[in-house]
């Protein structure tokens, strides 16, 4: 039995191999671009959902307290980022921050509708309550928060907190 001479097909096989490698590399590059855009879309969606929820709450509370001028009408928690960068811990992603802010707002909901002149009676209680509070099951992890500063300006309660990933103490 005679074998055909493959010398004629070497150049064509090389071109087919280069084409196949190019297709694989192109698919990998396209997939990485698609994943990056999809992740950016998820972050944008979570930010917009948080804003929408905040605006809906603001509208509801403004309608509820429109005749009262010295009450807390909304709560805006802020997560300080410097603590994570100085200690070498990774930064929180936007989706986790949004979920933690929702949980902090729910815990501070008792301040809504209270007079801004009587906030000092409850501030120490809330600080002790939320100091080192652990939020579990935030996308499979546990986080502890610590209230650093509370400020009331223009009927809005601003709360600055630091967030750390919670590690259980040894037994």
When mean pLDDT is compared across 7-11, 24-28, 59-63, the lowest value belongs to: 59-63
Confidence (pTM): 0.64
DSSP string for residues in 50-62: HHHHHHHHHHHHH
What is the pLDDT, as a whole number, of residue 166?
A: 82
Distance CA 72, CA 74 (A): 6
Give the pairing type, strands 133-138 and 74-79: unpaired
The average pLDDT across 28-46 equals 95
What is the pLDDT, as a whole number, of residue 84?
A: 43
Query: Which one, of 55, 52, 53, 152, lies nearest residue 112 by Cα?
Result: 152
């Amino acid at each position: 039995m005679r074998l055909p001479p493959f010398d004629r097909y070497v150049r064509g096989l090389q071109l087919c191999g280069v084409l196949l490698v190019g297709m694989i590399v192109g698919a990998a590059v396209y997939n990485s671009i698609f994943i990056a855009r999809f992740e950016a879309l998820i972050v944008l969606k979570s930010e917009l959902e948080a804003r929408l929820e905040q605006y809906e709450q603001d509208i509801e509370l403004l309608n509820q307290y429109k005749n009262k001028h010295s009450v807390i009408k909304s709560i805006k928690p802020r997560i300080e980022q410097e603590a994570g960068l100085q200690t070498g811990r990774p930064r929180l992603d936007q989706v986790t921050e949004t979920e933690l802010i929702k949980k902090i707002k729910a815990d501070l909901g008792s301040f809504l509708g209270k007079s801004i002149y009587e906030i000092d009676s409850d501030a120490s209680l809330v600080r002790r309550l939320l100091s080192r509070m652990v939020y579990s099951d935030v996308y499979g992890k546990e986080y502890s928060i610590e209230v650093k500063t509370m400020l009331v300006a223009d009927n809005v309660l601003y709360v600055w907190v630091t967030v750390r990933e919670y590690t259980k103490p040894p037994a």
